[in-house]
Amino acid sequence: MTRALNRYLPLLLLALLWEAATRAGLISKLALPPISEVFIAWFDLLREGDLFANGWSSLYRAGLGLLLAVVVGAAAGIFMAWFRPVNILVGPLIEIFYPLPKSALIPVIAFWLGFGDGSKVLLIFLGCMLPVTIGAFNGARSSEQVLLWSARGMGAGRLRMLWDVVVPSALPELLGGIRTALALSFVLLVTSELISSQKGFGHMIGVLGSGGIYDAMFAVVLTVALLGFIADRLFLRLMRRMLRWQE
Amino acid sequence: MAGIGERSRGARAARAAGGVAARTMSIVLLLILWEALVRSGAVTPFQLPSLVRVVERVGIDAASGELFYNAGLTLYRALAGFAIAGVAGVALGMLIFKSAVARWFFDPIISAGFPMPKVAFLPIIILWFGVYDMPKITMIVIDAIFPVVTATVLGFSGVDRQLIWSARNMGAREPELLWQIMLPAALPQILTGLQVALPVALIIAIATEMLMGGRGLGGAMLEASRMADSPGAFAGLVEMTVLGYAAIKAMALVRRRLLQWHQETQRPSGV
């Protein structure tokens, strides 16, 4: 606990500096509300339930999209490494679509599903799938031939080898890909909700910002940023636990 | 000897041709599938306009100069932000590596800031910097700098001790050591960081253009979406795919040029 406090002391100092600069009038309160007022606004939002209602729909969208991306992306990547024809067919498409700035999908998806939950889920699914696929592919491809041979020698069938050898050896890079996708899902979620949405964190930020209620807007922005950070830390922990067998 | 060289060169050319053929095949298949889907009537032309119309639209955009103006603007913003993030990120990374105070101060900021969805700060950036190029480039810098800083710190920390010792032994002073020995040794890592940062810069450039409106590919696409102009939006998607692909390939080329001396380049590439 003390160590964590020590480690994050600079962040605390920045927060104090923020408070002091705004209180002393060095920075206009219109440009930067004091952090204490942001906290008060945050508690108000929490008490009135706005934060929960909007947060729930945001997390639902990001979670579902990400879940689909992980399931489909991991399966696609492993099969690409396992069956050559799939690789030859799908590989070039991934190479072309990987550099596409994922935010460019937003207007096109609006033609398919409008601006509701479905459009956000689809956007996050499509945007997050490629990093997962590439991670799974690279990981599965790197599974050692010796392991595969000995598995075969011991009489493992193809499916058994896939599950017992290829999937575990793909795991480190697959999890790395999922971590990238996790960060990307937040970016896509916030962007698409800011552009057009009836609920969610992005919607709240937009409404509060255009209404000039900056302390509350800052509160929501910081909430989203903090959630992104916490999600990453939790995933990192899960990742370490799942990869413990490696050492 | 010459015969062997020639044969292997011929074989390599044949393999490359085969690779290109396989590659084009799957893309052609995708395009055929697209057109077939439209013709079959399973989707409305609004949901997926015909390929011919989209290509026509790209042609019209190109002929009117609109395409080059918008693409140039988007690329300018992305690259300006990317360049600032690159230079500042490497400088900050070196500072963190050299100074314990800088490390103490920036380490929690970097490790907490990296996974945050920084695009959420956009309304604040707009509040401070208005809606023109400045906030867009600022946002791109904020997003793209993190991978560069972490890669630079990692690169410098990973420099072989023996290399540093021998340089010191041969009389290299601190600045020489830093610029002539450590920076080149850390370069592969730094370039990897830049290769992560470039797509980030493009994503954020497009996203900020969409969120603020105005010119640029992102703005044009959102405009098309608002006007329910579906060929326009799909044309934008095609244009951005090409732009993103070109940017990534150019970056890979730069890496190969800069690392010509490195064993990574001499090794035949796997992919």
Q: Is residue B148 part of a domain?
A: yes
pLDDT of residue A94: 85
**B230 lies within 8 A of chain A by CB:** yes
Nearest-angstrom CA–CA distance, B178 and B172: 9
Chain A residues close to B120, C-beta within 8 Å: 190, 201-202, 205, 221, 224-225
Q: Are B271 and B222 within 8 A, CB to CB? A: no
User: Looking at per-residue confidence, does B34 or A160 come out higher?
Assistant: B34
When divided into structural domains, chain B yields a total of 2
Instruction: Clarify whether residues B133 and B5 are in a common domain.
Output: no
Mean per-residue pLDDT for B160-175? 85
Same domain, B136 and B208: yes
* pLDDT level of residue B12 (50, 70, 90 thresholds): low
Residues B61 and B148 occupy one common structural domain? yes
Q: Averaging pLDDT over each range in A198-207, B69-78, B115-124, B161-170, which range is the top one?
A: B69-78
Instruction: Kindly compute the dihedral angle of the four CA atoms of residues A114, A120, A122, A125, in this order, to the nearest 10 degrees.
Output: 170
> Is residue A120 classed as helix, strand or coil in its secondary structure?
helix
> What is the distance of C-alpha A98 from the center of its chain?
17
Work out the average pLDDT over A234-242: 91
Asked if residue B120 has pLDDT above 50, the reply is yes
Q: What is the pLDDT of residues B183-217, one digit of tens each?
A: 889 999 999 999 989 999 998 999 999 888 778 89
Domain assignment of residue B271, yes or no:
no
Query: Does B170 lie in the same domain as B52?
Result: yes
pLDDT value, residue B269: 47
Q: What is the pLDDT of residues B23-79, one digit of tens each?
A: 788 888 888 988 888 888 888 888 888 888 899 999 998 999 889 999 999 999 999
Chain A residues touching residue B115 (CB < 8 angstroms): 182-183, 228-229, 231-233
pLDDT level of residue B146 (50, 70, 90 thresholds): very high
Within 13 Å of residue B9, how many CA atoms lie on the same side as its CB? 6
Residues B112 and B92 in one domain: yes
B222 contact A CB<8A? yes
* Same domain membership, residue B207 and residue B80: yes
Q: How far apart are CA B221 and CA A156, in angstroms?
A: 52
Whether A87 and chain B come into contact, CB under 8 Å, resolves to no
pLDDT at B267: 58
pLDDT for the residue A89:
81
Chain A partners within 8 Å of B114 (Cβ): 232
A101-135 pLDDT, tens digit each:
888 888 888 888 888 888 999 999 999 999 999 99
The pLDDT, as a whole number, for residue B270 is 43
| Same domain, yes or no: B19 and B106 | no
Inside any domain, residue B221: yes
In this prediction, residue A86 carries a pLDDT of: 80
Shortest Cα–Cα distance, B177 to chain A (Å): 30
Question: Which position has the higher pLDDT, B265 or B166?
Answer: B166
Tell the CATH topology of A55-246.
MetI-like fold (1.10.3720)
Q: Rounded to the nearest 5°, which phi and psi values hold at A213?
A: -90, 75
Same domain, B30 and B104: no
Report the pLDDT value the prediction gives residue A235, as an integer from 0 to 100. Answer: 93
Percent above pLDDT 70 for chain A: 98
Give B-chain residues touching A104 at CB under 8 angstroms.
Answer: 206, 217-218, 221, 236-237, 240-241
Read off the pLDDT band of B5 (50, 70, 90). Answer: very low
If you average pLDDT over every residue of chain A, what do you get? 87
pLDDT at residue A239 is higher than 60: yes
Residue B268 DSSP code: P
What DSSP line would sit under B194-209, residue for residue? HHHHHHHHHHHHHHHH
| pLDDT over 90 percentage in chain B | 34
Is residue B164 domain-shared with residue B184, that is, in the same domain? Answer: yes
With 50 as the cut, is the pLDDT of residue A210 above it?
Answer: yes
pLDDT at B86 over 90: yes
Instruction: Reply yes or no on whether the pLDDT at A159 is more than 80.
Output: no
Residue of A nearest to B120 (CA): A221
ipTM for the assembly: 0.82
Confirm or reject contact between A212 and chain B (CB < 8 A).
no
Q: A112: which chain B residues are within 8 Å (Cβ-Cβ)?
A: 47
CB contact under 8 A, A229 and B115: yes
| Of residues A10, A205, A233, nearest to B108 (C-beta) | A10
Residue A225 pLDDT greater than 70, yes or no: yes
* Average of per-residue pLDDT across B240-245: 90
Same domain, B7 and B115: no
Residue % of chain A over a pLDDT of 90? 34
Burial class, A175, CB count within 10 angstroms (exposed 0-12 / middle 13-18 / buried 19+): buried
Give per-residue pLDDT as tens, A6-19.
Answer: 788 888 899 999 99
Q: Is residue B27 part of a domain?
A: yes
> Could you tell me if B35 and B154 lie in one domain?
no
How far is B54 from B240, CA to CA, in rounded Å? 13
Report whether pLDDT(B231) > 50: yes
pLDDT, mean over chain B: 86
- Domain extent at residue B14: 1-43
**Could you state, in order of their start, the residue ranges of all structural domains in chain A?**
55-246
pLDDT value of residue A242:
87
Q: Which residue among A10, A89, A202 places its CB closest to the CB of B26?
A: A89
Indicate whether A187 pLDDT > 70: yes
If asked whether residues B103 and B12 sit together in one domain, one would say no
Give CA–CA dist A140/A143, Å, rounded: 5
- The answer to the question of residue B253 being in a domain is yes
Query: Are A191 and A103 a contacting pair, CB within 8 Å?
Result: yes
Can you give the pLDDT at residue B97? 92
A50, pLDDT greater than 90? no
Question: For residue A56, what pLDDT is reported?
Answer: 92
